[in-house]
Amino acid sequence: MRETHRHVDVGGAVPYRIHIGPGLLDDGALLTETLRGRHALIVSDRHVAPLYAGRVQSALQTARPDLRLACHVLPAGEAEKTLTRFAEVIEALASLGATRDACVYALGGGVVGDLAGFAAACWMRGIDCVQLPTTLLAMVDSSVGGKTAVDIPHGKNLVGAFHPPRAVLADTTTLRTLPARELRAGLAEVIKYGAIRDAAFLAWLTDHADALLAGESDALAEAIARSCAHKAEITERDPLERGERALLNFGHTFAHAIEAEQGYGQGLNHGEAVAVGMVLAARLSARLGLAAWADAEALRTLLLRFGLPVALPAGLAPDALLARMRLDKKAHGTGLRFVLWRKPGDACVVTDVDASAVRAVLDGTDTA
């Protein structure tokens, strides 16, 4: 079965491999391939742990009978990605007696991956982490690149660290239990890669929309591999987001403001917010004269095809969203900074964006 698996190698100072395919959570040899010590902590949540934690634990113990292994299960949801839950994972590592050659296995979606990865980055100033993403969103985005963080009331992902994983194992069989809404949310991030780097990929997504929405394994594996390849290429050149990596945040300045203002987990999920954010970013690009209005409309149409929201949720005040954006990690001291595009597949970073143009987009008073 191994020959049907795909993989993507991430280079740079801390190289690692992304494995994509069915049955990876049961592959003890692969799970322990990068394991250096004799302590391991599985971190998961209450939705994912009952489905997969036992399988991962069995595979690890079979491959490494000498392993001291524990499992820490968090409540599920974005609202749990907090410093309080982070402290609980640190306490679990302490209780395990985890040494500097220990490993954290992050089993779940983006919340678990971010939080467990951040704990691994901080325990004894950094131990290994293997990402085991179980959602499409995590497979194509948060598990790759080494960004780890928690949220605070002021904003999303404001406390964190760059900490690349030792490996990523994206077991595509976990997508069979993924709710349709979560699958669509992941597809928003897949569409993002086409929007910022690869217009031909947007065309491929259009042609394979039915298969992707139906959860067909081959189509999803291809979408994951192509998305991860784009992210790997960028992150190995810019691991600390000092330049090109910022392009991966297309739509995210709007999205993070929406999520924070709605209250994490209370409105749109992350992928849905990114879908709205990409439409707003495309419209802002057009308003500033960087891109064609027709391209913004085409992106909106594609997102609708995948069942994603494309308009700002009701009840969000533009002034409040602008205040959130000024605190965003992508903002500079000199003004608002956005990832925009010149055309599909050609994104760019624009600094000192006039707040009045952003307000017009948020108000819906921008016109084609």
- Confirm whether 330 is a catalytic residue: no
- Confirm whether 256 is a catalytic residue: yes
- Confirm whether 249 is a catalytic residue: yes
The residue from 270, 287, 300, 324 that is catalytic is: 270
Q: Which residues contact 26 (CB under 8 A, 6 or more apart)?
A: 55, 58, 59
The residue from 80, 182, 241, 259 that is catalytic is: 241
- Confirm whether 33 is a catalytic residue: no
- Confirm whether 270 is a catalytic residue: yes
Distance CA 253, CA 276 (A): 11
The residue from 72, 147, 156, 192 that is catalytic is: 147
Question: In 3-state terms, what secondary structure has residue 339?
Answer: strand
For 3-18, the DSSP string reads GG-EEEEE-SSS-EEE
Among candidates 284, 282, 306, which has minimal Cα distance to 296? 282
Instruction: Determine contact, residues 263/297, Cβ cutoff 8 Å.
Output: no
- Confirm whether 189 is a catalytic residue: yes
Residue 62 buriedness (CB in 10 A; 0-12 / 13-18 / 19+): middle
Q: Give the chain's count of helices (H) and strands (E).
A: 14, 11
- Confirm whether 125 is a catalytic residue: yes
The residue from 226, 256, 300, 324 that is catalytic is: 256
288: left (phi over 0), alpha (psi -120 to 50) or beta: alpha
- Confirm whether 245 is a catalytic residue: yes
The residue from 166, 197, 252, 324 that is catalytic is: 252
The residue from 3, 125, 176, 242 that is catalytic is: 125
For 78-111, the DSSP string reads GGG-SHHHHHHHHHHHHHHT--TT-EEEEEESHH
The residue from 78, 80, 189, 272 that is catalytic is: 189
Instruction: Determine contact, residues 89/75, Cβ cutoff 8 Å.
Output: no
The residue from 19, 85, 163, 231 that is catalytic is: 231
The residue from 47, 156, 245, 287 that is catalytic is: 245
β strands within 68-219, DSSP E: 68-74, 103-108, 128-133, 147-152, 155-162, 167-171
Active site residues: 125, 147, 189, 231, 241, 245, 249, 252, 256, 270
